[in-house]
Each structure stands twice: as C-alpha cells, then as structure tokens.
Amino acid sequence: MQKFNYYSPTRIVFGAGTRNDIGSLIKEFGVKKVAVIFGGSSAKKSGLLDLVEENLKSEGIDVLLLGGVVPNPLLSKAKEMTKESVKFGAEFVLAVGGGSVIDTAKFVAIGVANPDTDIEEFFFQRKKVERSLPTGSILTIAAAGSETSDSAVLTDDVTGSCIKKGINTDFNRCRFAIMDPELTYSLPKYQIGAGAADIFMHTSERYFTNILGNHLTDELAEGLFRDIIKFGPKAVKNPTDYEAMSEVMWCGSVSHVGLTGLGSKGDTPRDGDWSCHQLGMALSSLFDSTHGATLSAIWASWANYVKDENISRFAGFARKVYGVAEADDKKAADIGIERTVEYFKSVGMPVSLHELLNREVSEKDCEDLAINCSYNKSRSIGSFKSLDYNDMYNIYMAAR
C-alpha cells in the first residue's frame, strides 16, 4: 500500500425498518429546528415524509418541508431553499431522497451556516467552505453515493454558464445515513439501472489510475465490480428482491466513500481519473440526461480511447472482474471493455449517444459538448490520460 489519509465519519444505519430511527438519531444533536429537503411527490405519496415529520415532532423538533429538487439539481433551487431555511432558523438539514436531494441539502447546509455569503461563491469555488450545518440523509435511491461522500454537485442555471460541477469538502459529509432498502422498492426500473451504472462508474473512475501498488484497494474495487455486476441486473428485474436491492444500496455507498481509491505516492492523491463523470456532466447539462445513463453511454468510447496508456490495467480488470482467461493483454482488455458494455445493457442503460438521446447526434452536438466539458477550451480533464478539448470531441464523436 502507498500512503493515504482517510476520513469517513458518516454513521450508517442499514436495514429494513431503519427509517423509524430518524427521530432518535436527530435528537442526539440537540437541535430544535430541522429543514427537510426532498424531491417530488413520491416521498409524500409513499408516506415517508409524514413518518419523518411525525417522528421529529414527537421529539419536540420543528420541521420545515422543502420540496421540488429535480434530477440534475439546480443552483437556483438550492439558493431558494437556503433563504427559506435561514428564515426558519434551521439548525440541521435532513435530505430525504437520492443524490440530487442530498447534494442540494449539502449546499443548503453550507448556505445557512454562511448567511451573509451567496452560495454561488462556494459553487464557483471563489470562497472556501469553512463551516456548515450538520446534515443527515434517508436514502431512497441507490446510485450517487452522496450519503457517504464529501462531494456535492449542482447545475448552474443562474449565471447562464449551464455548467454542472461540484465541490469537495469534509463539511459535506453526512453525520448519518439511514439506508432502508425497502424504500427503493417503488423505483422505476430505469432509475435502478441508472443507479447501478453510476455505482459501477464511481469505482471505475478510481480504479483506472496511474498510481498502482495498492493491492488491497484493488481487491476491494474488483469485489465491488463483481457484486454490482451480479446484483444490478437482479434488482432491475425484480425491484422487490431485498437481497439484490440491499446489495446495490450498500455498493452505492462503498463505491463513493473512498475505500476503492485509497493509496497515493508522495503528496499526489490516488483520486482516480473522473473523465467519464466530466464528459457525462456535460451531457446532463446540455441535454438534461439521467446521470448514470450518460456514463454508460460514454464509457466504452473513453476506454477504447485511453486503454493504450496502460493496457495491462485494462487486461487485469478483465481477468479479475470477469474471469477472462485470454493471455494476450490487448485481447483481454478488449474483452473486458465489451463485457462492461454488456453489463450496462443488462441493466437497461444506453451504450451510445444516439441511444441516450434517442436521436442522431451531429458533429455540432459533439463540438458543443466538448466546449461545455472543457469550459470553453480552458481546461483538460483526467489523469489516466489527460484529455483536452480535441480529445473530448473525439470521444464524443466515437460514442455517437
């Protein structure tokens, strides 16, 4: 193992019925006012919001319900919710939902703790986060891993940039995450499949790195790959299969808590490549596409574009994850890439841009995507292979 500095303070409360623990968990923080962030009507229709409100009020805690978070969550909504939470006097922010809701809650928590600073300053990283309200989550969608991560991602619909980006800080870490797999039973199959793709990709981004020699980290990553490949399709096939849904839910948290990326050389963190996420964020930003689906649509094109940087890494992935017996590294790597495409198909995800967008994709589309992803040709992305505007354009074109 190389050196690393690991911090993961989130308390995990996992299993059927754990939703009922919400009142006692928040009571431990000694707060009297909680802002509850959620998305659409499903949390209300399912009775989950009523249960949360009743549990909190039974502990003498006032509740402010703030709904309307959308997939690919918006900076404007986070700003609106921040104002309401400040006015309410929130002391704790609780997210009831998936990654979009949790990410929004994290920004609201930062905004309430810094009422004299517009959260745009933190979003655009013009100001460093130095304090935040405590946050917690009740997870209803296994996908983003935001319940255990230090990241929060929003789309800028305020300044006109249309950029989807995030900030990473330990202040973003939830104090607790309630993970009740039964809460995911009513999800549409497409959302379950998109989550399974996102979970795979959170580990893929960390696994394909140039910082090697972290054997236990690799074993953890390869085990997670195998588990989501096994249980992801089962969850899509039968959303009320508790074993499958619970495995997918735990994979989602472990995939983004940092364990599958531990180990560095010197002061360079092994934080992974993250090119596919950046490429996918541009797709989400310009075409309002489901996050996990953008990743599956772009992965094979990215993999084929960068694989020669370290073909043995891709070959090892194929052998350890899929049991590929091919001795030739190039052939093994190609088989591993194709098997991953088959996995994405097995969970109902697109594997090309025309499948994602349900239309033909033009060269102009690819130019626009590369402009957005490169911040108007001002940045490169990736570490496995550094990608500039031209590389991004070529990957989008190959993914058509």
- Quick: pLDDT tens for 291-301: 999 999 999 99
Residue-averaged pLDDT of the chain: 95
Instruction: Give kind and range of the element (H or E) at residue 64.
Output: strand 62-66
Nearest Cα to Cα of residue 275 among 154, 391, 172:
391
pLDDT bracket for residue 41 (50, 70, 90):
confident
How much is the pLDDT for 161?
Answer: 86
**Amino acid at position 365, single letter:** D
- pLDDT at residue 4 above 90? no
> With the CA atoms of 384, 290, 132 and 123 taken in that order, what torsion angle do they form, in degrees rounded to the nearest 10?
70
> Above 70 in pLDDT, residue 290?
yes
Let me know: does 189 contact 198? Beta carbons within 8 Å: no
Least confident segment among 14-28, 260-274, 370-384 = 260-274
Confidence (pLDDT) at 269? 54
**16-47 residues labelled b (16+ CB within 10 A) or e (exposed):** eebbebbbebbeebebeebbbbbbeeebeeee
Paired tokens of 230 = 């096994």
User: Region 337-365: what's the mean pLDDT?
Assistant: 98
Cα 97 to Cα 72, 103, 105: the distances in Å are: 13, 10, 10
pTM: predicted TM-score of the whole model, two decimal places: 0.93
pLDDT(264) > 80: no
pLDDT at 270: 61
pLDDT tens, 314-326? Answer: 999 999 999 999 9
SS (H, E, C) 235-254: HHHCCCCHHHHHHHHHHHHH
Name the percent of the chain in helix, strand, coil, to the closest 5.
55, 10, 35
Digit-coded pLDDT (tens) for 157-172: 999 888 888 899 999 9
At 187, the pLDDT band (50, 70, 90 cuts) reads: very high
Tokens standing for residue 345: 């198909």
Q: Which two tokens stand for residue 300?
A: 């094979």
